[in-house]
Structures are given as structure tokens and as C-alpha cells.
Amino acid sequence: MRLLLINANTSEFVTAKVLAAARKVALPDTAIEAVTGNFGARVIGSRTENAIGEHSAVALGAAHAAGFDGVLVAVSYDTGAKALREMLAVPVLGMTEAALHAAAIAGGRVGIVVFGSRVLGLYRDVVDATGLGGKVAGWRAIDSAAPYAPGDQSDVEEMIVAACADLVARDGAEAILLTGAVMAGVPALLQPRIDVPVVDGITTGVPMLEAFVRMKIAKPRVGSFSMPTGRETVALDAALAARLKGA
């Protein structure tokens, strides 16, 4: 099985981190590759940047998805996931939708930790789109950009542990979702210090995507997720234009 991670951010640091975490949890016969956006924000943090990222995500999918059995969107706003699901013939998962479903199954009501107060609204939109908004116990925002750069993360880890404990004590959270692609693999490090299950979108998304591939769920031939065909476009990347024509 071959899986593709699509990071519509332009940060190679983020791509390297999610790829390493994904390969650790993949089955032995699963090969994973990752691609990074070549235009747009270094790290998406606004609706405007996310809209640009959606273009980047579908362009990356059009150019690189051939030969892969499934795609995981490695941006925690699930940037472009629905469009990729429509455009491609293989299963496509968003990392946050995967983690939210996993957390809701593992523990019931979910506490969500985000990085930056500004992005709370974006994440609420993502959660609402999954239909699981009623499962959310509460939110905590950590205003630190440290996870998006190399170096010692001990201060941020202390803040995460404190936020998780507060969600459990004050909001009754029974599972925790750490948002952000840079949180890939972090739950395994912090789980001994947190009393409820903690998940991230990469280490839950990869096994879930493997399961979808093995289930051989059919691609819709009709409806809103059937492939677009015969679409006329202007000045698009050649691979994306070809996909929209149905080539």
C-alpha cells in the first residue's frame, strides 16, 4: 500500500515531522511519501491563507496522487480534503476529522487544544463540518508558535499538559485532541502525564486511512463527490486542469 501526505503549508519542517510520525505508526507493508506546498503561507493561520491552501492542496493532489492508494491531508484545518475526495479515485481523509472521530470513540466528550486564539474559529468550522460538534466538551488555546520551529519543546509540553488537565477537571473532557500537524507523535510522549486518551491527526489518520484502503470502499460515480469531468479552466496548473477535464 502507498499513502500520500499532502501538506499545503510551505513549511518543510512540518512536512518532515508529519512524515516521520506517519511512518512510525504505519503497517510494515505501507509506504508513505509526503509533498509540501510551493505557494501560500508558511503556516496557515487565517481563513484567507486557508483558501489559498485549498488551491495548493488540490494542485498537489493532481500532480502527485497518481500511483497512491490513499491520501491524508496533513494540514489540521483539513485543507482541501473535500475537494480532493471529489477529484481523486482513492480514499482521502482530513487529519482532524480522523482524530476527532477517534477521540469521540475512545472517550466520549472531547477536549480540543489549539495553538493560537485567532484560529479557534477556523477549528470550530472544521469540527462543525464533521457533524461531531456536540461531542466537544471544551476548547483551550495555547498562544505559542514554538511547536512550529525546531528546538526544545519542554515549555510548550508543560502548557499542553496543564491545558489537558484543565479540560478534564473543568469541562469533563474524556479524551483530548491536540490540533496542528506539528503535534504528530506528541500524544505518545505526553500520555503518561494525562489521565484520558490523547490523540493527534497523523497517528490516528494513517491507520484509519489504511483501513479505508483495505475496505475497498467504492468511489461514487454520481453525486457531489463523483469526479469532475469536462470542466473548462483558464491558467491553471496543467495537472490540475487535466484532472478537471477528467483526464
Taking only the tens place, the pLDDT of each residue in 190-213 is: 999 999 999 999 999 999 999 999
Taking only the tens place, the pLDDT of each residue in 78-114 is: 999 999 999 999 999 999 999 999 999 998 899 999 9
Instruction: Please indicate, yes or no, whether the overall pTM of this predicted structure exceeds 0.85.
Output: yes
DSSP structure class, residue 79? T
Q: Could you tell me which residues come within 8 angstroms of residue 51 by beta carbon, excluding any fewer than 6 positions away?
A: none
Classify the C-alpha dihedral 152-158-159-160 as positive or negative: positive
Work out the burial of residue 222: count CB atoms within 10 Å of its CB; fewer than 13 is exposed, 13-18 middle, 19 or more buried: exposed
| Whole-number Å distance between alpha carbons of 237 and 95 | 25
| Through-space distance between the first and last CA atoms of the chain, rounded to whole angstroms | 24
What domains can be seen in the chain, in order of their start residue? 2-95+204-245 (3.40.50.12500), 96-200 (3.40.50.12500)
Q: Could you tell me which residues come within 8 angstroms of residue 158 by beta carbon, excluding any fewer than 6 positions away?
A: none
